Amino acid sequence: MWRLRRAGEGDAPALAMVAAASFLETFAGILKGPDIIAHCARKSSPAQFSAWAQDAGSALTLAEHPDGAAPVGYTVLSVPDFPIPTTSDDIELRRIYALSLTRGTGIGAALMARAIDDARALGKTRLLLGVLGANRRARDFYERQGFTLAGERQFLVGESLFDDVIYARDL
C-alpha cells in the first residue's frame, strides 16, 4: 500500500513538509503553537534534512501515498545525541512520524522495520530513541517494538522544556 524508499538530498523539501505537518498534527493542543512553529523551523528545515542526507552515518526513509506519491511519513537515523553513555555501535532513531491518515495501516511498524534494517546495514548493534515522557501512545508502540527504558533527558521545543524518556533496543 504505502511506498517506503530511501530518501536523498533531493527529497529534503518533501521530508521537511511531512516533518512539520506530522509534528503539528501530533503536538497541537499539547505544545504551544509558537513553540511548534519555532521547533519545526529550526529542526525540520529542508537544510537540516539535506545535511542528514549528505551524512554517510545517517539514513532517511520517506513513506509515500500510493496514489500520487505525496509524503506521508518518514524516519531519520543519525549519530546519537543523548545524555547517556553511547558507543560507535549505537545509532539514534531521531525521527519516526506518519500522518494520521495512515493510522491503523501498519505504516508505523513498517517504518520501524525499515529503520532497524538500515541501522543494521550501517553496522550498528543498538538503536536509541527519545520520546516525550507523557506521550503514552508512542511509548506503547516503542515498547511493543522491543524497546526498553535507558534514561531520561530534557528536550527543548521552541522556548519550552519537556521531559523525555530514552529507549534502547539491541539489534
63 CB-near residues (< 8 Å, 6+ apart) = 2, 3, 4, 71, 72, 73, 74, 98, 102, 107, 110, 111
Mean pLDDT of 85-114: 96
Mean pLDDT of 72-99: 97
Residue-level pLDDT at 160? 86
Mean pLDDT of 85-111: 96
Average pLDDT, the chain: 96
Distance CA 130, CA 94 (A): 7
94 pLDDT band, cuts 50/70/90, is: very high
**What are the tens digits of pLDDT across the range 40-55?**
999 999 999 999 999 9
Predicted structure pTM score: 0.94
Percent of the chain with pLDDT over 70: 100
Q: Is the pLDDT of residue 156 over 90?
A: no
